[in-house]
Every structure is written in C-alpha cells, then in structure tokens.
C-alpha cells in the first residue's frame, strides 16, 4: 500500500480515530448552535437582546440584562480560543483531502475570519455598534456552513476507496 498523504490512504485505525473525533466535535459544535438559537432566537434582534439586554421592553417574557465587562471578555476570550483550536484541527484534516487547492484554502482559512468577525462583532455590538448584529449573523452563518461542508468532505474522503484515488 502506497501512502500519498491523502486522508483516504491512511490506515483504517487512523481513519476510525478521525471519524470518531469529527463526530464528537460535530455534536459539540451543533449543540452550541442549539444554545445560540435558544438564547438569541437565531435572528439579529435576538443577538442584540442577548448582549445588550431587554430591560426597556415591559412586555417581554424573559428579562435579559446587558452583559457585564467580565462576562463579555470571558465569552469572547473562551470562544476565540476554543474555535481557533477547532478550526485548526478541522483545517488540518481538510488539508489532507483530495480537493482543489483554492477550495481547500477557503475551507481552511475562512473559519478564522468568521471567528474574528463573529466574536469581535459581538464585542463591538456590546460596545454600542448595534449594526454589527448583522455582521455577527452573516459571519456566524458562514462559519457554520464552512464547518458543516468541511466535515462532510472529511467524511466522504475517509470512506473513499483507495483504488479510485
């Protein structure tokens, strides 16, 4: 068996490890999205309310207050660090797929841009740049789509027949 450095040529044990890792990582990633949907209603105004509060709305069902400095710095710090590790590892796996160079490069680099725009945008939203809620929504969606596409490509190529490569 000749290894050419592509994911589908890896030994079965390593492919199983990668598959298990990507499944568990995806469960964690998509569970986080359920939390985002639950806390922000999955829309720009919900994002704004999540971080700036809704104390002025007397008809609200759930009262939310503006996040504190510590809450915001902790959230931004934790998400940027953890997401950068997630996308670094997914990017490494994408790098050994049999994709065209430009597609690979996009899937490997775009999530880092989206992480900065999403969590930097949330911070700027909290600081009063309310229009950033739209940037947060767009970049968060693009980050999610990129993650899902990368995972799908990794899985397809994990099960690709070596003889077809």
For the entire predicted model, the pTM comes to 0.89
Write the pLDDT tens digit of every residue in 126-148. Answer: 999 999 999 999 999 999 999 99
Q: Does residue 5 sit in helix, strand or coil?
A: coil
Q: Tell how far CA 21 is from the center of its chain.
A: 16
Which neighbouring-strand residues pair with 53?
A: 65
**Angle at 54 (CA atoms; ends 72, 39), nearest 5 degrees:** 60
Least confident of 20-24, 55-59, 103-107: 55-59
Write the pLDDT tens digit of every residue in 36-93. Answer: 888 877 788 888 888 888 887 777 778 888 899 999 999 999 999 999 999 999 999 9
SS3 for 30-63 is: HHHHHHHHHHHCCCHHHHHHHHHECCCCCCCCCC
- Parse the chain into domains and list their residue ranges: 11-159
The structure tokens listed for 84 are 């950068």
**43 vs 18, 33, 51, 68, 161, CA distance in Å?**
34, 12, 13, 22, 42
Q: Is the pLDDT of residue 2 over 70?
A: no
Q: Does residue 65 sit in helix, strand or coil?
A: strand
From 48, 137, 125, 119, select the one nearest 83 (Cα to Cα).
Answer: 119
* pLDDT mean over 30-41: 86
From 84, 156, 151, 77, select the one nearest 115 (Cα to Cα).
Answer: 84
Q: pLDDT > 70: what percent of the chain?
A: 95
pLDDT at 13: 95
Please name the residue that has the structure tokens 């590790």.
85
């Amino acid at each position: 068996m000749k290894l050419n450095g592509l994911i589908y040529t890896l030994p079965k044990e390593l492919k199983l490890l990668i598959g298990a890792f990507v499944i568990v990582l995806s469960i964690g990633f998509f569970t986080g999205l359920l939390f985002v949907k639950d806390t922000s209603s999955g829309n720009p105004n919900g994002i704004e309310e999540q971080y700036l509060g809704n104390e002025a709305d007397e008809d609200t069902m759930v009262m939310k207050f503006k996040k504190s400095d510590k809450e915001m710095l902790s959230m931004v710090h934790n998400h940027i660090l953890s997401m950068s590790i997630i996308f670094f590892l997914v990017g490494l796996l994408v790098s050994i797929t049999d994709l065209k160079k430009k597609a690979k490069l996009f899937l490997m680099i775009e999530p880092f841009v989206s992480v900065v725009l999403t969590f930097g945008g949330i911070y700027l939203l909290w600081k009063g740049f309310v229009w950033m809620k739209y940037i947060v929504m767009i970049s968060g969606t693009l980050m999610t789509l990129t993650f899902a596409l990368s995972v799908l490509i990794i899985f397809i190529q994990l099960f690709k027949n070596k003889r077809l490569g």
